[in-house]
Structure 1
Amino acid sequence: MIVLVLHIFTPHIEAIKADGATEALINSICIENEDYGFCNKIIHEKLKVPTATIKELTSLIIYTTMDHANDTYIFIDNILREWPVPKETTGLKTCHEVYNRETNSFLEIRFLFSKGEYGRMGEAILSTAKILEDCRGDFLIPPYKEPLIEKKRVMRILITMSAVSGHMIKNEKASLISSVVTAQFFNI
Structure 2
Amino acid sequence: MKFPRCIFFVFVLVFYIFTPHIEAVEADGPTEALINSICVENEDYGFCSKIIHEKLKAPTATLKELTGLIFHTATDQANDTYIFIDNILREWPGPKKKNCLKTCRAVYNRETTSFLEIRFLFSKGEYERMVKIIFSTAKILDRCRTDFLIPPYKDPLIEKKRVMRILITMSAVSGYMVKNGKASLIRSVVIPQIFSY
User: Under a length normalisation based on structure 2, what TM-score does the superposition of the two structures give?
Assistant: 0.90
CA deviation after TM superposition for structure 1 residue 184, in Å? 1.9
User: Is residue 138–residue 147 contact of structure 1 (8 Å, CA) maintained in 2?
Assistant: no
Q: List runs of 5+ in structure 1 lacking aligned partners.
A: none
Distance 1:85 1:127 in 2: 31
Distance 1:7 1:71 in 2: 18
Match of 2:127 among 118, 127, 139: 118
Match of 1:49 among 52, 58, 69: 58
Distance 2:159 2:167 in 1: 12
1:33 and 2:33 are equivalent in the alignment: no
Cross-structure match for 2:156: 147
| Paired AA for residue 37 in structure 1 | G
Cross-structure match for 2:7: none
Cross-structure match for 2:6: none
Distance 2:134 2:147 in 1: 24
Q: Secondary structure at the match of 1:147?
A: coil
CA deviation after TM superposition for structure 1 residue 177, in Å? 1.6
Identity %: 78
What are the residue-to-residue correspondences of 1:26-105 with 2, within 5 Å?
26-105=35-114
User: Is residue 177–residue 184 contact of structure 2 (8 Å, CA) maintained in 1?
Assistant: yes
Q: List runs of 5+ in structure 2 lacking aligned partners.
A: 1-13
Cross-structure match for 1:169: 178
Coordinate RMSD, CA, aligned? 1.5
CA deviation after TM superposition for structure 1 residue 183, in Å? 1.7
Cross-structure match for 2:3: none
User: Is residue 135–residue 195 contact of structure 2 (8 Å, CA) maintained in 1?
Assistant: no
Q: Which runs of 4+ in 1 moved over 4 A?
A: 5-8
User: Under a length normalisation based on structure 1, what TM-score does the superposition of the two structures give?
Assistant: 0.94
Cross-structure match for 1:159: 168
